[in-house]
Structure 1
Amino acid sequence: MSEPMTQKLDVRSGANAEPSNGVNDGLVPVYRPTTLTPDALREQDEVYGALTQAVRGLNEAQLRTEVDPDLVRVVTAQIESITARLLVRARAASFGLELGHDGGAREHGNPVLGLRNPFAAALGENAMFWGEKDAYAELELGPLYEGPPGLVHGGVLALLLDQLFTEAAAAAGMPAMTVNLVVNYRRPTPLGTVGMRAWLESIDGAKRRLKATVYDPEGNVTTESECLLVLPKAIEAGNLWPKRPPRPR
């Protein structure tokens, strides 16, 4: 059977985004408002979110499986066929960042909290929540996030902290982007439930300084981190930072 032809959607002129309100100076990402109706967005998020979770389960299954090689070959061919079907109509590039009707960010490709990224750990009940000047999360980090045997990879923790810092700054009404991140690993972080909290320490003009801790289920601090965030002038001048509704503790 021949593979289906691929129709790519250029996000610069596709049905899901309007580029005219975007801004891009080479450093600042383009934020495009969606053109889908609220009902269409809800349906899209529901079905694509379910697809992502199914793929996430598949990712862990292929990591842990020990079935017969002949069955692996059959399943591999089936997955390749399904992949081709999904690419019959696809974006030409990455998802980027779209704005919902309320101005909220739809960063579905984000590797930490993207609704359509199967690697993203901060979704649903494990989402990153906002306080007044902080953000926190309780995540389930399983085999896909392993570094040393039975432990979370240090780079994964750094990735999660990077996102959590920007969430904490935004929660305090001081959104910005990371320019410096320091991570101190105090003790190994076991796979499983991992808690983390970041908070705003100080503000100096466009600079925001924050701190964070990571802790295990027993409350032991495994990682400490400090971060410097800066609000790019292009965003500050244009007031273009996407909103994210506050999430109650």
Structure 2
Amino acid sequence: MTSRRPSPEASAMNVGGFVRDDTPTAEVDRREAVMASLAGTVRELVDATIRTTVDDEEVRRVRDDLAALVERLRAAQLPGPAGIRYNAELRAWNWGNAVIGAANAIAPPLRVVHGPSGCHADVVLGAAYEGPPGLVHGGVSAMLLDHIMGETASGMRRATFTGTLTMRYRRGTPLGALRLEAEIVREEGRKVFVAGSIADADGVTVEAEGVFIQPAGTTGDSPPEQPST
């Protein structure tokens, strides 16, 4: 991704869907900050695009300017998805992820905090996540809960995949500042049962229950699915 990064042939190794990449953690952190700053500006662009009322000619001029910027970014790019990478220190990065991707302007992004009994995250959702007027799209709520509940199930030490996710929409979730929480309820073999919720200042708006499955043949020492926060 940068001139100092070892070539894919020298540094990358696929392990069960994860990619081993020997980029030093300090370099990953530096590059992540740069990409996050770009994604943040693009995120502002998305919001501005939705809400702009400038005239047609100005829209066309901005479109043409953006097309030129896209060409500049495509001058050097990955051949496919960004994937999940990790180095020898188990620093993981997943910059294309739809929920937490540092380089993904579609991601809110969610910053998940791991605690002793589960996870939580504070997020602000704007116009790009609207479903009903003024409210978060129900599918976006499900996506965010699926992610934070999956991270809770994995506990940063094992890979888990969503088996089932059951949602209960108690009321509309307003756009703006929200709190997500998740905790492990119990475990049965490779199954991890997790409860999660979304709340605004007035209380819970969405509740969820999920079963997350640890793949057969994996152990608690599997590479981390998401970067530490």
Shared fold per TM-score greater than 0.5 = yes
Match of 1:235 among 195, 218, 225: 218
- 1:105–1:206 CA distance, 2 compared to 1 (3 A): same
Question: Is the contact made by 2:11 and 2:22 (CA closer than 8 Å) also made in structure 1?
Answer: no
Match of 2:196 in 1: 212
- 1:174–1:201 CA distance, 2 compared to 1 (3 A): farther
Larger mean Cα displacement after TM superposition, 63-72 or 36-45:
36-45
Aligned-residue identity in percent? 30
Match of 2:186 among 178, 193, 202: 202
Q: 1:207: Cα distance to partner? A: 0.5
Q: 1:185: Cα distance to partner? A: 0.4
Q: 1:44: Cα distance to partner? A: 1.4
Match of 1:150 among 116, 134, 137: 134
Q: d(CA) in 2 for partners of 1:116 and 1:172?
A: 21
Q: 1:116: Cα distance to partner? A: 0.6
Q: d(CA) in 1 for partners of 2:200 and 2:98?
A: 22
Question: Is the contact made by 1:19 and 1:32 (CA closer than 8 Å) also made in structure 2?
Answer: no
TM-score by length of 2: 0.89
Q: In the alignment, residue 223 of structure 2 is paired with which amino acid?
A: W
| Partner SS, residue 209 of structure 1 | strand
- 1:76–1:170 CA distance, 2 compared to 1 (3 A): same
| Partner SS, residue 180 of structure 1 | strand
Within-5 A mapping of 1:1-249: 15=7, 21-24=13-16, 30-123=17-110, 127-171=111-155, 175-218=159-202, 220-236=203-219, 239-242=221-224, 247=229
Q: In the alignment, residue 55 of structure 2 is paired with which amino acid?
A: D
Q: RMSD of the alignment, in Å?
A: 2.3
TM-score by length of 1: 0.83
Q: 1:115: Cα distance to partner? A: 0.5
- 1:245–1:105 CA distance, 2 compared to 1 (3 A): closer
Unaligned runs of 5+ in 2: none
- 1:148–1:214 CA distance, 2 compared to 1 (3 A): same
- 1:234–1:107 CA distance, 2 compared to 1 (3 A): farther
Q: 1:154: Cα distance to partner? A: 0.4
